[in-house]
Amino acid sequence: MKNAIRIVLGALLLLAAPAGAGVLDQLQQLPVPAGPGGGSVIDGVGGMLGVDQKRLDLVKKGVQTAQALQPINEEAERALGETIAVEAFRRFGGLHRNEPLTRYLNLVGRSIAEVTDRPNLNYHFAILDSTEENAFAAPGGFVFVTLGLLRSLTSESELAGVLGHELAHINRKHMLNTLQRGSLLSNVTELSMAALDKDPKLLGAAVDQLSDLLFTRGLDKDLEFEADQYGLEYAQRAGYTPNGLRLYLQRLARKQGAARSVFFTTHPPVDDRLQRVERRIAGMPKEPHLAILQDRFKRNTGAM
């Protein structure tokens, strides 16, 4: 089954481009995918995420009206993720407006999302206009990379490793599970839209706590290690060499202590991550001809 998925995705995205226009070059002539609200995925915050800015402001203030008695499902998850997503834009320079680059990021990201454990989420991938080197994942399928991080990469397989890590946070519900174990929800049996309706301030408080986790304190180090492990697997399922993440972490380790980034305060020491990643790769099945794609990455990111 995995091989079949890889073959299909390879035909779409991962095969090395032939002379002249490659598969991705042709795909980039297609219209930018529309969000759920009909807007372009690069048409500002609302269009990018398919959400309504005014509704998000209401959610942040805790006056959103809940609609149904449900446990924590994709509706509740997305309500949290949408607001966190807008907070990411506010904190990290807003949306980087580069249509070809955003399209390329979405093509790579969605090829990996297709082989995750939750392929049916409505994933969105966006570039934050910040020179700081970082990446974030918000519940519900929102993934962000900074312009600074993209500039630090050297191949599509490295990008796949970074996106795989962020997709693992979403697929394993790391932020939601951390929130549910905290004191904020100690008296709430289920984080549902009904619970949010009963206590209108609960959603705002949950968003504040998730923002603190994502942008200030960081997740538990074991969850970051787990995201690396699953991210390696997702990248390999999609046809990329898992060495992409290893190579990126090697360069990142050399910057630790010198570069200024919130990344280093919200993640475990890079050397610890690197050791675990190297051990995991050594135990993974050796598959020849997995993609690196340095040239294609350079072609599609050269205008950054």
User: Number of C-alpha atoms within 13 angstroms, CB side, residue 290?
Assistant: 24
User: What is the pLDDT confidence band of residue 265, given thresholds at 50, 70 and 90?
Assistant: low
Reported as a single tens digit per residue, the pLDDT across 148-163 is 999 999 999 999 999 9
Residue extents of the structural domains in the chain: 2-15+22-301
What is the biggest distance separating any 2 CA atoms in the chain, rounded to whole angstroms? 62
In angstroms, the CA 149 to CA 132 distance is: 7
Tokens of residue 209, six digits: 């706590």
Give the 3-state DSSP-derived string for 79-132, with helices as H, strands as E and coil as C: HHHHHHHHHHHHHCCCECCCHHHHHHHHHHHHHHHCCCCCCCCCCEEEEECCCC
- The answer to whether the CB of 143 falls within 8 A of the CB of 136 is yes
Please state which of the ranges 1-15, 38-52, 126-140, 155-169 shows the lowest mean pLDDT.
1-15
Reported as a single tens digit per residue, the pLDDT across 89-142 is 988 999 999 999 999 999 999 999 999 999 999 999 999 999 989 999 999 999
Q: Which residues pair with 291 in a beta bridge?
A: 240
User: What is the pLDDT confidence band of residue 2, given thresholds at 50, 70 and 90?
Assistant: very low
Q: How far is CA 152 from CA 96, 133, 203, 251, 255, in A?
A: 16, 8, 36, 9, 11
Averaged pLDDT for residues 224-243: 96
Q: For residue 192, give every residue at least 6 positions away whose Cβ sits within 8 Å of its Cβ, in sequence order, or none.
A: 66, 69, 70, 71, 72, 73, 76
